[in-house]
Amino acid sequence: MLNQIIINIIIAGAIYTLVAIGFALIYQTTRFFHFAHAVIFTSGAYFVFLFIQILGWSYYTAIPAAIFLSLFLGGLIEFFIYKPLRKKKLLQLYYFLLH
């Protein structure tokens, strides 16, 4: 039982690390804190759950499909929300308030 707890802690820490690296990478390249990053990351997990548990797909097809759908969702958010807001040159505080 202790081994399983340690493995769960390592997995949770790895997930938090990936999200934090994503936040840092996006902020360092765009100088904009992308709040929807966590939503896109979480949607990928839900897509995997949907494909495997509900639709009965295998892991080999569900995970790439979830990655593709998450990338597509991120592109939609960028194109329809963030790009028009950046063209208006709003302050970052306004970006924060819009979420």
What are the pLDDT digits (tens) for 38-91?
788 889 999 999 999 999 999 999 999 999 999 999 889 888 877 777 777 666
CA distance 60 to 83: 34
Q: Is the per-residue pLDDT at 1 higher than 80?
A: yes
Asked if residue 29 has pLDDT above 90, the reply is no
Could you give the angle at the alpha carbon of 68 between the alpha carbons of 65 and 74, nearest 5°? 140
* Length reported for the chain: 99
* pTM score of the predicted model: 0.67
Q: How far apart are CA 48 and CA 66, in angstroms?
A: 6
CA distances from 58 to 2, 41, 47, 71 (A): 30, 20, 13, 20
